[in-house]
Amino acid sequence: MTAVRSLAGRAGLLLAAALAVPLALAAFLHPLDPAAMDLGRAWTGPPADHPLGCDGLGRDVAARLIAGMGTSFAIAGLALGLAVGLGFALGGAAGWIGGRTDAAVLRLADLLHGFPELSLAIVASALLGPGTEAVVLTLALAAWPSQVRWCRALALSNRTAEHVVAATALGAGPMHAVRHHLLPAVAGPVAIRAALSIGPVMVAEATLSGLGLGIQEPAVSLGTLIRDGLADLRSAPHLIAATTVTVAAVALSINLLAEGLRDGLDPRGTPFRWPRLFRRS
């Protein structure tokens, strides 16, 4: 549990629990369909039997937030999975083989890095139509260059490591070296790097979908909820309030956990310190 060794990590875990426990309880005790409409209770504020009130179509805001959070997590996970998988395959090959392969992969990563996220989103939604596929592709392509550079650097330093050279000298083939030496050495750092980018990727999804370039109705994500809230800003401010606070809290808890992970893993870095008031010894 490296992530919770520092106080930032503990704060993040606490916040994540503070979010997850009531949500899980609500989903369990109060199972509501996020799409169920009841125009009779449209615009009702929080103190009804719906903990966060209802939107303009009488749909329960809490149920929609729970559903939206699930979608946003799934999309961030899918996009990062794609970016890490492709990044590992190409970056690992580039670092391990070197030469022209390396130059070509680096050039490709530079090329893609030159496209700002928003232009990737425009091209993706122009080619695929705005929707889930477009936003997953955008986020994966935006995350890919840094993943590929990281995998390449790891593979490069592992290829010349003494134990790998020794294994090769003893007659190990390239597949053996990749399976038994490269993969185990690289898996941890790659996973950590991916975990650090979950927060920013979720924020990016919320922004793109919030602008209308991502998830489309009737699917629900944190981004589409922001979009709904913005549309009903004047008539029902409780919508945008509930949604933006939730999105910010989710991102904050993930980023704090990431900060804890960074502190715990980097002995050189300056650890997060609480003011003396809260420190125990």
User: Vertex 183, ends 94 and 178: CA angle to 5°?
Assistant: 65
Q: How far apart are CA 56 and CA 62, in angstroms?
A: 14
Rounded to the nearest whole angstrom, what is the least distance from the CB of residue 119 to another protein in the complex?
Answer: 4
**Between residues 38 and 110, which has the closer beta carbon with respect to another protein?**
110
Binder among 208, 215, 242, 261 for another protein (CB under 8 A): 208
Q: What are the phi and psi torsion angles at 60 (to 5°)?
A: -70, 125
Helices (H), 60-131: 61-97, 99-113, 117-128
272 binds another protein, rule: CB under 8 A: yes
Does residue 226 bind another protein (CB under 8 A)? yes
Query: Long-range contact list for 89-94, CB < 8 A, 24+ apart?
Result: 90/148, 90/151, 91/147, 91/148, 91/149, 91/150, 91/151, 91/152, 91/154, 91/155, 92/151, 92/152, 92/154, 92/155, 92/178, 92/182, 92/186, 93/155, 94/148, 94/152, 94/155
Residue 73 or 115 with smaller CB distance to another protein: 115
Member of 199, 215, 238, 261 binding another protein (CB under 8 A): 199
Tell me whether residue 82 or residue 239 sits nearer to another protein (CB atom): 239
Contact between 45 and another protein by CB under 8 A: the answer reads: no
Nearest approach in angstroms of CB 47 to another protein is 22
Q: How far is the CB of 19 from another protein (least distance, A)?
A: 13
The closest of 258, 240, 148, 150 to 202, measured between CA atoms, is 258
Stretch that binds another protein, among 86-94, 161-169, 188-196, 230-238 (CB under 8 A): 230-238
The contact set with another protein (CB under 8 A) reads 8, 107, 110-111, 113-119, 121-123, 125-127, 129-130, 199, 203-204, 206-208, 210-213, 222, 226, 229-230, 233, 237, 240, 243-245, 247-248, 251-252, 255-256, 259, 270, 272-276
